[in-house]
Amino acid sequence: MTSSGARTAEPVDRSRIKAVAFDAFTLFDPRPIFLACEAVAPGRGSELASLWRTRQFEYQWLRALAGQYQDFFAATQAALEFAAQSLKVDLRASERERLMRGFFEMRAWPDVPQALRDLRRAGKQLALLSNATAPILEAALTNSALQGALDRIISTDRIKSFKPDPRAYQLGVDLLGVAKHELVFVAFAGWDAAGAKWFGYPTFWNNRQGAVEEVLGVKPDGSGATLHELTRFIAGR
């Protein structure tokens, strides 16, 4: 155990890695969605975005735990309603629609196309493994001219639950036909990195936000601000 209570991870055998599964936000930039909050709530956009993002995941997890599933889009919409009401921000229907539409307008981070090409040349299967719905994921791929760049588009909507439910991570094993130790999971959020490690995946934390590591008893096997670090990690460099 380290001083933070995290277990020391077993070394990743990179020679056995056959597949890479990405959380959606490691590939697609969500920032414009939340920056748009300032346009609909001048002077309070940052506050609205922060509460919305927090409730977005809390509502997903609460519903999953209670057996009251709503998909990513519906839970996110409910979280926006809560955030606006809590802050007494009067959003018109057109403004709510504008913010929610942002999830269908995401585009890839600049480093993504080259990283995917590098991994493909290295012979890896590539997949999305996301809480977002399939239409959201497919729209982001189209917006980014990345149709066909991935082998599988996997939404946890298939199991009516969300990561970090172990059944959500199991979808990668089942649909890609690989063992846990043969799949590297690439997380955007620290909690997702912890969930993937708990499940047993070799895990890379694409920490684009420069966030503090979660104190949950596990650590990612690698981390970096871009996917260039991921390709070096998988190559053993």
Give yes or no for a contact between 231 and 21, defined as CB atoms under 8 angstroms apart: no
- From first CA to last CA, the distance across the chain in angstroms is 26
pLDDT tens for each residue of 86-132: 999 999 999 999 999 999 999 999 999 999 999 999 999 999 999 99
Please list the rounded mean pLDDT of every run of 10 residues in the chain (237 residues).
45 92 98 96 96 97 97 98 97 97 98 98 98 98 97 98 98 98 98 98 98 97 98 91
* The predicted structure's pLDDT at residue 11: 79
Same domain, residue pair 223 and 113: yes
Domain end marker among 55, 83, 104: 104
Domain limits for position 72: 31-104
- Token couple for 84: 């606006």
Q: Which amino acid belongs to residue 130?
A: S
Same domain, residue pair 45 and 129: no
In the chain, what's the furthest Cα-to-Cα distance?
55
Global pTM reads 0.94
pLDDT tens for each residue of 178-193: 999 999 999 999 999 9
The one catalytic residue among 13, 23, 29, 111 = 23
**Residue 24 CA: distances (Å) to CA of 82, 151, 176, 224:** 24, 14, 17, 16
Same domain, residue pair 95 and 148: no
Same domain, residue pair 36 and 113: no
Q: Considering the domain boundaries, does residue 8 fall inside one?
A: no
Q: Considering the domain boundaries, does residue 220 fall inside one?
A: yes
CATH code (residue 138): 3.40.50.1000
* DSSP per-residue letters across the chain: --TTSPPPPPPP-GGG--EEEE-HHHHB--HHHHHTHHHHSTTTHHHHHHHHHHHHHHHHHHHHHHT----HHHHHHHHHHHHHHHTT----HHHHHHHHHGGGS--B-TTHHHHHHHHHHTT-EEEEEESS-HHHHHHHHHHTT-TTS-SEEEEGGGGT--TTSHHHHHHHHHHHT--GGGEEEEESSHHHHHHHHHHT--EEEE-TT-PPPP-SS---SEEESSHHHHHHHHHT-
Same domain, residue pair 181 and 95: no
- Token couple for 150: 């991935």
Same domain, residue pair 203 and 185: yes
Q: Considering the domain boundaries, does residue 44 fall inside one?
A: yes
* The predicted structure's pLDDT at residue 229: 98
Q: Considering the domain boundaries, does residue 201 fall inside one?
A: yes
Number of domains within the chain? 2
Whether residue 23 lies in the annotated active site: yes
